[in-house]
Each structure stands twice: as C-alpha cells, then as structure tokens.
Amino acid sequence: MLDLRGMTRVAILGGGTAGWLAALYLRKALQPHVEVLLISAPEIPIVGVGEGGILNFITALKQLDIPLFEFMSETNAVHKLGFVYEGWRKNNKDPNDYFYHMFPIIEDTSPIVTMMVNHDIPVSYITDSIQLREKNISQIELTHMLTQQKLKNNFNSSFHFDTYKVGQYLRKIALKRGVIHREGLYKDIQRHTENGLVTALLVNDECIPVDFVIDASGFSRQILGKKMMGEWQSFQESLSLNTAIPFHLKHTQKNPDLVTRSTAMNAGWVWQIPLQERIGAGYVYNSNFISAEQAVDEVEQWLGHAIEPIRTITFEAGFYKEIWKGNVLAIGLASGFVEPLEATSIGQTLQQLRLFMNIIFECQAVVSKSSVDYFNKQNANAWYEIRDFIAMHYDTGREDTPFWKFVSKDLVFSSQYLSLKKCWQHRMPKDIELMCYTMGFTSLFGRYSWITIAQALGIIKADATVADLMAVPVEEQKELISFMQRLKKKLGK
C-alpha cells in the first residue's frame, strides 16, 4: 500500500516537455498546500526529436486551460493534419509511391470506411485533410476554419511545434500557477531502509525531502533506470532502428506543410516537421547497415545540398515493464521510447499521466499494490500497441536495399500482430480485437488508423470488406453508394 494522504511535496526530475506537462497536471489537481517542485539541470540539452503531437495533445492543452492559439504563437507551432509516407512501398525515387494517415474525425464512419476500402479509395479521403494539404493553404486560412463555429469542418488537427520553445512556454505557465522550479545538478536518491520508498533527492549536495517523484529525466533515466534498476523490455527484434541524426531545413513552398513527412531511405527514414520559420528534420536509421557519415551523405545526395547535423542520438526501442515502482513514476523518454514514427512519445506520456491521475484520485491517495500493478500492465499494453502499429509500417515487402531486405526477411512481428493480420485477410478490423491494447488507456491508434496503414500497404484488400458490407441494411447500402458517387466525383475518379 502507498499512502499519499499526508504528502507535502511532489518532485519532478527533468525540465523537458514531459516534466512540465506533469507539473501542470499535478498543480491543477493537488491541494494548494502540496508543493509541486520541478528540478532541472540547464546544462543537459533537451532532445528535439518529437516535434509533433497527436490528437490527445490538443485534449491536454484544453484540460490544462492553455489557449490553443496562444500556444501556437509562443511555441512557433503550426497546424498538423496528419502524416504522409513517401517511398515506403517501393523507393523514394518514385513520386507516386506515397500514402496518407490523416487524423480521424470524431463521428463513427465504419460503413463508409469499409466501402472506401472496397472501392480501393484511401480511407484518409474521408476527411478534407488531404485536399487542404495539397492546396498548401495558409495557417491563417486553417485557423479561420477551426475558429468559425458555424463551419462543420470535416478534418481534425493537432500541432507541429518547437520542442525547446514548448518547454519554455509550459515553464512560464507553470510558474504563474505556483509550480516551484529549481535548477541544480541531481546526484542521487535516498531511500527508506525498510520499505524502499524514496525519501529525498540529492541536488547540489542538498537533500530535498520528497513524498512522490516523477522521473522525467529523458534518455538519461536517472532514477528508474540507474537507481531502481527497472527491468527493460526491448523491442529491438521488431523495431530495429537505433540511431537518429536531426538537422534543420528551409521551407520549400509558400506555406508550411500541414503534415509530418516520413520518407523511406536506404537504411531507415527521414522525418520533416514544419514549423513557422523552418523545418525540423532528421534521419533515423539502423546503424548495422549504415554509418553516421554514410547517413549524412545519403541525405545530402537526396536533398541536393549540404546539411548541418545537430548531433547523433542512439537509442534502443523498448520500455520499462514497471514504470511505477513504490513512490516513483517514470514518464516520457524515461519510461521508454521507439523511433519517432507517428509521434508516439508525447502521446504516450499523456496516456501515462491521465491513468496515473485517475488512480490517485479514485483511490483517494491510498493506492493498493493491485492498482499499481494494473497501471503497469496497462502501460505495457499501450507500448505493445505502439510496437505493433509502428512495426506494421515495415510490413511492405520492400527488398531493394540490405536494410529493407532484412526488414522483409528477418524482422520479428509479434504473434498478436500476425494473428490480427491473418484475420484481416477475410474481414475488416474490429474494435473489440484491438481492446487488448487499450484497457485502461485510451488507444493512440483506433480502428481507423490501423485500417489506414493496412490498406495502404496491401495488408487489407477489397475482398476483406464483402462480409462487412453484406451485413449493412439495404437502405444504408443505398446511402453508402450515393456517398461513394459523390466522393468519386469530388476526387475526379
């Protein structure tokens, strides 16, 4: 049992996006007498890999009473409608080899999506997002569409943003709301001799008493990884990329792009995340197939100009099996990481914070071991969903380079994913079979997202829709046919 009823201080170690989000959530939820203290070391650089959010990021800003358009102006943010994948099925020299994964709209669109798969129309066209992106509309135009309540928009959006500026902006908001910030060098923890709970943090040779600790220390994983020796679950067999080289690019069109571009390369892929003044980019790759120098050369040949690499980041895809141990919770990069495909890092962080806060308050701050076990199990399920959904992007059949041949022949897909894939040869994906990933957590990738990628890669074919469409009532079938006629006319098909 963990009794937090008498707590007077919660400490957060780490001043990145995850740390400041945790501080804001805790400050909003806890009683005023409980101090929320964030400790950061200014000399430790903030990793700027994940500069994009998904839909739960917008939800978080609203929950934290942060005005969306103030956030945009303060963080160099631009609207994001989804993702485009270039060269994943053939190679990046084929301009026609691309597909979209746009954010879904809220309404249940199951029969329509099924009909679109039946007609070989990419399901992302159910929204207006692709047309908006291809028109390269301005941020002002899109903001106007989002703020006009009388308009019924047929698209959904999140943000691309400058990670460093997000940290600075959230810090400013948090300090105004009463969060205490101390800059100092974390050195160690002190633990209770009997129950093992963390009783203090050693910072700049000073012992700071604590009742609960959030480890948001990023890849350094100062507490859970280095002091509490958490058990690591590697995803290396399924997600083999292990190195990233970020760099900056200039905009090449009038307005910032409205999607994250993910372009397949010889040994991995390049991300391009548009901001107001520049594009944040990077090559993430498997170092067993290419060196850092070769990676830079490949990017420069592809772009046709030189780049200035910011640094080289190495990582292993995976997560800690128990991120809540005693009175310590690890979140964000400190809890796990996979390659930045589909912007999972911040999305998963928000999932962790949401369930943690729910448990604390449902249990009235007296937390049973079973509740902590439940949290860790559901966190693991969410990571398994991330692993399988990201791995599906590599189920392409490409074999034109040694890396892609390795992916095709030797990458290990989980039995869970292979079972789903086998079923999807005969019918469409179902919500109930995806629940194994989502109990306790809200799914980062719902049925629509799985269908979008699986359709694009040929994992789901038109034949798989027959049984689903036959189950649709006759009158509704007529409406679906009418919708398809209008959609085809709109798309010029």
Binding annotation for FAD: 15-18, 333
Query: Which of 323, 355, 325 minimizes the C-alpha distance to 336?
Result: 323
Strands (E), 288-334: 313-314, 318-320, 324-325, 328-330
Strands (E), 148-278: 158-160, 180-183, 186-191, 198-203, 206-209, 212-215, 232-234, 243-249, 259-264, 268-274
CA–CA distance, 20 with 74 (Å, rounded to integer): 15
**What order do you get walking across the sheet with 279-285 strand by strand?**
98-102, 82-86, 259-264, 268-274, 279-285, 243-249, 313-314
Numbered residues of the known binding site for 7-chloro-L-tryptophan:
80
Q: What's the per-residue H, E or C state across 23-87?
A: HHHHHHHCCCCCEEEEEECCCCCCCCCCCECCHHHHHHHHHCCCCHHHHHHHHCCEEECEEEEEC
Compute, in degrees rounded to 10, the torsion defined by CA atoms 453, 266, 418, 100. Answer: 0
Active site (annotated) includes residue 488: no
The catalytic residue among 28, 62, 80, 377 is 80
CA–CA distance, 403 with 4 (Å, rounded to integer): 50
Numbered residues of the known binding site:
15-18, 80, 333, 342, 346
Catalytic residues: 80
